Amino acid sequence: MYEFNITLNQPFAEAIETVKAALMEEQLGIVSEVDVQAVFKAKMDKDIPSYRILGACNPKLADRVLAAEPNAGALLPCNLVVRAEGDSTVVSFMDPVTVMGLSESDEVQAVAAEAKEKLQRVAARLQ
């Protein structure tokens, strides 16, 4: 499976802040944030529930990946989807082991395993 997810019993705006704080506890900073809801509205005049894609990164892990395989940057950062579902919010974590499994580098695979452990700890904090 390419992702694992949890559901938070929080409204979207509160959940976004909760997720960002939990990521920071694992030294995962947000390097990108795409407001898909706003993009769909602006580009297609389509209304969808709140939906954000967060790009989370630990610079030390990213450095190891790029040192081992410079083009593996195409697989970075670790993306998360935070989306409203009724009164709850679903947080879907990209599985770095699956995504970085596209690389044949042992070091990239090792970093992927560490990144997955970090994301799993984030998910556990959120529950």
Give pLDDT, residue 30: 97
**pTM for the full model?**
0.94
What is the per-residue pLDDT across 57-116, written as a single tens digit (0 to 9) for each?
Answer: 999 999 999 999 999 999 999 999 999 999 999 999 999 999 999 999 999 999 999 999
Report helix angle 12-25 to 106-126, nearest 10.
130
Tally of CA atoms within 13 A in the half-sphere of 123 that contains its CB: 20
Give pLDDT, residue 1: 87
Residue 82 is encoded by which pair of tokens?
Answer: 């935070």
What is the per-residue pLDDT across 49-70, written as a single tens digit (0 to 9) for each?
Answer: 999 999 999 999 999 999 999 9
Give pLDDT, residue 36: 98
> What are the structural domains, with CATH classification, of the chain?
3-126 (3.30.310.70)
